[in-house]
């Protein structure tokens, strides 16, 4: 069985008078260094009970211990009881497990086929897909895949920002300065220019903002010309976004944006009124939330609705259509308050499913220590960054592997891999200072490093004419042990990533495994020794499988050659 439970059983034998199994289980830790063993039990807490020094307790425990086959050795060091796993047995068991389960290795069934909706990416129509939206897109995509790996049925929702006063402003700008031909040729960049120009002009002329609001009112009232322009901008934007999603390998089950909920908000307001939750305050309608939070604004003084109203309608709609057990919102850090309010309002409305809602926040993409601003045109376009990355990857390939087929495809995989990995490798709540240089780095702890390791493993399997077999795996290389430990840890890494909604757990995992493999590769000639070749290739194959699967969970492809 599980190594840890086996160790608990051994300890329980001697310590049952003072500690129960679950307590023991929580006390066991992983030693800092591999040389100290595989599992450790600290004896410091027992010092008081036994009135002896931790060192002596460890020594006595060790002396009296009867080890099952799973363990090879036990040592008492500095007040710790350290056990060493039986390397050959564990190695063979782990490799065979990975080989037999293939890409299903590491699956953990937490979800039981329940539905999890994931609201992510959600760019604003008629604005460029900026670096800021990259974060939500790649984090959400990874979480969807991780959730599926954990047995959930993931529904990917792109909650497009396709409604609001901004469209009124854009229509004003277009009617004043727009050129149909230019917009058709290069929709996003032209629309951005118009948007920026509008804000510059509005600083001089306040009346422009009023005009914008008027046009938005027309849009809400169903004015034909306004709707025509709106749906044109929406279509063009969507096409641009699709290009980026294809490049990144991201897809959605629903692209209902905010506009979709226009006719679903009356019901929400009605429900709120029925439950007597709606209060008037400064001529606006709000829901008051106890605690210390400010009230949630539902309706403006002029009777129009807000972001929160639409999000309420969306949450209810999603529960009705998908019957989700969990629902994630992958939206920036700065909206924490909004989601706290939203969830509390839903709780007050009596929806039990509010417990499954979670705001998966992330830090901002900063430029010179500050937030990037679309209004001032200070944006970095994701498409440009991706294209830079792909070009750089291509240059590398031409230089390093000139005979490679399908250079363009591999360049795409490696370039986007670098950008995605750079975003996912650190904890999501950290802010990221935008740095093209960092993002396009292909050496060290990067996506291409992991991809390269995968390609190396694939290459060796090709060169060694690897055939799968059911023969016993027998690994005796000491250098292989850290690979085995990492392979063993894969399911736990997935669990950590899911539970913390934290893709960086997978990124870190995959880096550790790649490092361990490269170290092994540097010290052991895998194909030279006929006797060990098949076992070693089995090890290489397990690594290849797990790297491939780990990268896939992050939304990164793993080329077999690069």
Partner RNA sequence: GUCCCAGUAGCUCAGCUGGAUAGAGCAACAGCCUUCUAAGCUGUGGGUCGGGAGUUCGAAUCUCUCCUGGGACGCCA
Return the residues of window 265-294 that contact RNA according to CB under 7 A: 281-284, 286, 292, 294
**Interactions with RNA, residue window 160-219 (CB under 7 A):** 161, 163-166
Instruction: Select from 78, 231, 262, 469 the one that contacts RNA (CB under 7 A).
Output: 78
Q: Closer CB to RNA, residue 42 or residue 114?
A: 42
Instruction: Choose, by CB under 7 A, the member of 119, 236, 258, 477 that binds RNA.
Output: 258
CB 294 within 8 A of CB 343: no
Within 379-418, the residues that bind RNA by CB under 7 A are 393, 396-397, 400-401, 410, 414
CB contact at 8 A, 133 and 158 = no
Any contact of residue 336 with RNA (CB under 7 A)? yes
Binding to RNA, residues 483-522 (CB under 7 A): 504, 508, 515, 518-519, 521-522
The beta-strand segments (E) located in 4-44 are 39-42
Does 443 participate in binding RNA (rule CB under 7 A)? yes
101 touching RNA, by CB under 7 A: no
Closest approach of RNA to the CB of residue 190, in Å? 22
Neighbouring C-alpha atoms within 13 Å toward the C-beta of 398: 7
Residues with Cβ within 8 Å of 252's Cβ and at least 6 positions away in sequence, in order, are: 121, 156, 157, 158, 245
Residue with Cβ nearer RNA (14 or 396): 396
Q: CA Rg, the chain, in Å? A: 28
Contact region for RNA (CB under 7 A) — 146-154, 217-225, 240-248, 329-337? 329-337
The nearest distance, CB 452 to RNA, in angstroms, is: 3
Pick from 513, 508, 500, 519: which is nearest to 547 by CA? 513
Widest Cα–Cα separation across the chain: 88
Site string for RNA, 454-473 (x = CB under 7 A): -xx-xxx--xx---------
Nearer to RNA, 222 or 522 (CB): 522
DSSP H helices, 323-444, are 336-348, 382-400, 407-424, 436-439
Pick the closer one to RNA by CB: 154 or 195.
Answer: 195
How many CA atoms within 13 Å lie on the side-chain side of 367? 13
Instruction: Give, for 12, the enclosing helix (H) or strand (E).
Output: helix 3-15
Give the integer Cα–Cα distance in Å for 518 and 534.
Answer: 19
Segment near RNA (CB under 7 A), from 16-24, 60-68, 201-209, 431-439?
A: 431-439
* Of 206, 225, 204, 203, nearest in space to 215 by CA: 225
Binding of RNA by 31 (CB under 7 A): yes
Examine residue 432 and tell whether it contacts RNA (CB under 7 A): yes
What's the closest the beta carbon of residue 425 comes to RNA, in angstroms? 7
Total residues in contact with RNA, by rule CB under 7 A: 96
Compute the distance between CA of residue 232 and CA of residue 216 in angstroms, rounded to an integer: 15
Query: How many Cα neighbours within 13 Å face the side chain of 415?
Result: 25
Q: Are 555 and 248 in contact (CB under 8 A)?
A: yes
Instruction: Considering only residues 5 through 24, tell me which ones interact with RNA, judged by CB under 7 A.
Output: none
Instruction: Please state the closest distance from residue 106 (CB atom) to RNA, in A.
Output: 17
Which of 21, 217, 338, 495 lies at the binding interface for RNA (CB under 7 A)? 338
CB of 120 to RNA, least distance (A): 14
- Using the 8-state DSSP alphabet, how is residue 89 labeled? H
Q: How far is the CB of 507 from RNA (least distance, A)?
A: 10
């Amino acid at each position: 069985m599980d190594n840890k439970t086996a160790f608990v059983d051994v300890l329980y034998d001697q310590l049952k008078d003072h500690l129960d199994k679950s307590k023991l289980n929580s006390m066991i830790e992983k030693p800092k260094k591999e040389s100290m063993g595989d599992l450790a039990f600290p004896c410091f807490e027992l010092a008081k009970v036994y009135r002896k020094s931790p060192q002596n307790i460890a020594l006595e425990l060790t002396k009296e211990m009867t080890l099952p086959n799973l363990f090879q050795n036990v040592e008492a060091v500095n007040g710790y009881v350290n056990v060493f796993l039986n390397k050959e047995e564990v190695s063979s068991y782990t490799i065979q497990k990975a080989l037999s389960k293939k890409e299903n290795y590491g699956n953990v069934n937490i979800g039981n086929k329940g539905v999890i909706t994931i609201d992510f990416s959600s760019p604003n129509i008629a604005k460029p897909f900026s670096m800021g939206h990259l974060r939500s897109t790649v984090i959400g995509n990874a979480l969807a895949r991780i959730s599926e790996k954990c047995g959930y049925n993931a529904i990917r929702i792109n909650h497009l920002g396709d409604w609001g006063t901004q469209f009124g402003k854009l229509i004003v700008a277009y009617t004043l300065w727009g050129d149909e031909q230019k917009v058709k040729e290069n929709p996003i960049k032209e629309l951005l220019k118009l948007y920026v120009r509008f804000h510059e002009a509005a600083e001089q002329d306040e009346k422009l903002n009023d005009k914008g609001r008027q046009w938005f009112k027309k849009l809400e009232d169903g004015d034909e010309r306004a709707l025509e322009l709106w749906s044109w901008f929406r279509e063009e934007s969507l096409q641009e976004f699709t290009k980026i999603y294809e490049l990144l390998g991201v897809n959605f089950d629903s692209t209902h944006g905010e506009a979709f909920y226009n006719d679903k908000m009356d019901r929400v307001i009605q429900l709120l009124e029925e439950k007597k939750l709606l209060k008037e305050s400064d001529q606006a309608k709000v829901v008051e939330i106890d605690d210390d939070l400010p009230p949630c604004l539902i309706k403006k003084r002029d009777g129009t609705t807000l972001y929160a109203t639409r999000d309420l309608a969306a949450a209810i709609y999603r529960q009705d259509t998908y019957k989700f057990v969990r629902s994630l919102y992958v939206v920036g850090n700065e909206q924490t308050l909004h989601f706290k309010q939203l969830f509390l309002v839903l709780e007050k409305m009596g929806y039990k499913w509010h417990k499954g809602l979670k705001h998966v926040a992330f830090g901002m993409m900063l430029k010179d220590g500050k937030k990037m601003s679309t209004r001032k045109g200070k944006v970095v376009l994701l498409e440009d960054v991706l294209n830079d990355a792909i070009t750089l990857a291509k240059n590398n390939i031409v230089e390093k592997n000139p005979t490679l087929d399908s250079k363009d495809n591999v360049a795409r995989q490696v370039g986007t891999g670098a950008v995605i990995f750079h975003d996912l490798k650190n904890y999501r709540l950290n802010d990221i200072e935008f740095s093209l240089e960092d993002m396009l780095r292909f050496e060290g702890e990067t996506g291409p490093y992991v991809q390269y390791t995968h390609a190396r493993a694939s290459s060796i399997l090709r060169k060694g004419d690897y055939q799968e077999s059911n023969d016993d795996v027998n690994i005796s290389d000491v250098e292989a042990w850290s690979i085995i430990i990492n392979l063993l840890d894969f399911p736990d890494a997935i669990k950590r990533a899911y539970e913390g909604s934290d893709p960086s757990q997978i990124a870190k995992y995959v880096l550790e495994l790649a490092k361990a493999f490269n170290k092994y590769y540097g010290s052991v000639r895998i194909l030279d020794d006929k006797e060990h070749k098949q076992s070693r290739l089995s090890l290489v194959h397990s690594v290849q499988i797990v790297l491939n699967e780990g990268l896939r969970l992050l939304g990164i492809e793993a080329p077999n050659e690069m």
